[in-house]
Amino acid sequence: MLTLTDLRGRDVDIAAILPRADQDISATLDTVAPLLEQVRTGGESALLDLSEKYDAVRPPSLRVPAQVLEQALEQLDPVVRDALDALILRAREVHNAQLPAASVVSPGPDAKITNRWVPVQRVGLYVPGGQAVYPSSVVMNVVPAQVAGVAQLAISSPPQKEHGGWPHPTILAAAQLLGVEEVYAVGGAQAVGMFAYGVRDDSGVVVPPVSLITGPGNIYVATAKRAVQGIVGIDAEAGPTEIMVLADSTAPANLIAADLVSQAEHDELAAAVLVTDSAELAERVISQVEERAAITRHLDRVKQSLAGRQSAALVVDSMDTAVEVANEYGAEHLEIMTEDDAAYADRIHNAGAVFLGHYTPVSLGDYCAGSNHVLPTGGAARYSSGLNVTSFLRSQQVVRYGRDGLSQVAGHVQALAQAEDLPAHGEAVAARFQ
Ligand SMILES: NC(=O)c1ccc[n+]([C@@H]2O[C@H](COP(=O)([O-])OP(=O)(O)OC[C@H]3O[C@@H](n4cnc5c(N)ncnc54)[C@H](O)[C@@H]3O)[C@@H](O)[C@H]2O)c1
Ligand SMILES: N[C@H](CO)Cc1c[nH]c[nH+]1
Ligand SMILES: [Zn+2]
């Protein structure tokens, strides 16, 4: 199932041997582009047709009525409600601390630059719901958006045949718990298209377009987000889940196996990777993974994920090489289980989030650590962050110089305008003193 790749003694190009799925975003663009075009040109009826095709149900309407949201919360299992309350509390505390402060700088006399943080006005939050149910992703999207001060939040999640064509009731209950009233029963690439282009009919706007789309999803969702980037902003490409465990010979094989299987159950395309300098540990992990995978509830998905090209146990010459591999891979989640986790963590540049020690499994971060579980995948952790409060803010500079302030630098502006052969720039300054 999980294959051992022994790289010891081999002089390899690390980037070339990294385990990655065959079906990535580039390979999926051809499938997703026509769906987006169908939504752009066909509006509401196209969205309903696509739900029928991909979710096997035509929802009663795009928007979920208020009473359906209210009823979902009323009927929510109290144990799940307690868990959601606990998650919301921790997530709010963590995300409140991320709010950046404004700065005011006077770089000279009679000169002031204010750097302020302005929330995006309207955002579309995607909550997955194809193979599993993700109320936790409601919280992970909504809490940072609310802390940032976003005025309009809209959620979209796939319609469910067993629930009358509405998104799963636990997702609706989580939305209601957080006070989000605008919820749509649309999934996949079509939901991304709906948010990006908006929907109009003869009587006017049905769904206003958003400025930013955030949230996780499968390969179709992540691909659609890449495709609409530029029309709208996106948080990051947060596609099929990845876990990499960086471990030395001191690590417990049973816990590593449990964590690899835990993330493999998300999706056939999920990636579970171990990188270690201990062949003996790798062999023990592989055998424990096999035992667990054989009896786990979603064994078909798990087996496909572990057998796919994206999953592997990599054995390398040294822990230095293991760190190099981890940085080159840029995992969504990187667990570190070594004799000195903090020291290894200091050497990690590229990872969506880092989980240290035996008591910090990724599934804790998925649900209740307080950290955000919407994280970049496919190597995007090299340049993107996990979802956070600043994902919903823009830095905006407000500039004010007075007459004295401008006169101090007028000569420099003239000199640079001449040097760039843009004399009208200099003349605009000179005009103030004529
Ligand atoms: N990176 C992160 O932060 C993060 C967090 C949570 C979950 N995830 C990932 O989210 C994903 C959830 O996936 P899911 O499938 O359960 O739900 P989903 O809501 O992401 O996807 C379901 C939608 O996919 C579309 N779809 C399915 N098959 C299709 C096809 N052949 N062609 C076009 N569209 C198709 C359908 O429209 C359906 O509504 C998993 O991959 C999981 O690993 C990632
Ligand atoms: N592991 C996922 C992030 O890739 C998040 C999640 C939600 N529910 C369970 N897990
Ligand atoms: Zn998970």
* Residue ranges per structural domain of the chain: 4-21+240-370, 25-239, 402-433
How far is the centre of ligand 2, averaged over its atoms, from the C-alpha of 367 (Å)?
A: 8
Per CATH, domain 25-239 is 3.40.50.1980: yes
Q: Report pLDDT for 1.
A: 87
Distance 263 CA to ligand 1 centre (A): 14
Q: Is the CA virtual torsion 339, 342, 346, 348 positive or negative?
A: positive
Q: By C-alpha distance, which of 330, 331, 308, 325 is closest to 2? A: 308
Tell me if 373 CB under 6 Å of ligand 2.
Answer: yes
Distance between CA atoms of 258 and 192, rounded to whole angstroms? 33
- Ligand 2 centre from 358 Cα, in Å? 19
C-alpha 365/C-alpha 289 separation (Å) is: 21
Q: Is the CB of 134 under 6 A from ligand 2?
A: yes
**Mutation to probe ligand 2, out of 221, 237, 362, 387 (largest number of atoms < 8 A from CB):** 362
Which of 332, 358, 412, 427 does the annotation list as catalytic?
332
What would you report as the CA-atom Rg of the chain, rounded to the nearest whole angstrom? 25
159 within ligand 1 shell (Cβ under 6 A)? no
Q: Beta-carbon neighbour count of residue 199 at 10 Å?
A: 23
Q: Whole-angstrom Cα distance, residue 93 to residue 95?
A: 6
Q: How many CB atoms lie within 10 A of CB 165?
A: 20
Tell the CATH superfamily of the 4-21+240-370 domain.
Answer: Nitrogenase molybdenum iron protein domain (3.40.50.1980)
Which residue's CA is the nearest one to ligand 1's atom 6? Answer: 216
- For the CA of 128, the closest atom of ligand 1 is 19
> Is the beta carbon of 47 within 6 A of some atom in ligand 1?
no
Q: Mean pLDDT in runs of 10 for the chain (434 residues)?
A: 95 93 96 98 98 98 98 98 98 98 98 98 98 98 99 98 98 98 98 98 96 98 98 98 98 98 98 98 98 97 98 98 98 98 98 98 98 98 98 98 98 98 98 96
Nearest atom within ligand 1 for CA of residue 222: 20
| Centre of ligand 3 from the C-alpha of residue 409, in Å | 55
CB-based contacts of 428: which residues, under 8 Å, 6+ apart? none
Q: Does the annotation list 420 as a binding residue? A: yes
- Tell me, yes or no, if the two domains 4-21+240-370 and 25-239 fold the same way: yes
DSSP letter (8 states) at residue 390? G
What pLDDT was estimated at residue 197? 98
Q: Which atom of ligand 1 is nearest to the CA of 266?
A: 43
In order of 56, 254, 295, the CA distances from 50 in angstroms are 9, 43, 35
- Closest ligand to C-alpha of residue 224 is 1
Residue whose CA lies nearest to ligand 2 atom number 9: 366
Model pTM? 0.97
332 in catalytic set: yes
Ligand 2: atom nearest CA of 362 is 1
Please list, residue by residue across 95-129, b when 16 or more beta carbons sit within 10 angstroms of its beta carbon and e when fewer do: beeeeeeeeeeeeeeebeeeeebebbebbbbbbbb
**Which candidate, 363, 273, 257, places its Cα nearest to that of 322?**
273
Q: Which ligand lies nearest the alpha carbon of 301? A: 1
In sequence order, the β-bridge partners of residue 243 are 272, 333
CA 34: distance to chain centroid? 24
Q: How far is the CA of 56 from the centre of ligand 1 (A)?
A: 15
Q: Which of 72, 69, 90 lies closest to 81 in space, CA to CA?
A: 72
With a 6 A CB cut-off, is 355 part of the ligand 2 pocket? no
- Distance (Å, rounded) from C-alpha 158 to C-alpha 180? 17
Q: Is 155 in the pocket of ligand 1 (CB under 6 A)?
A: no
266 among annotated binding-site residues? yes
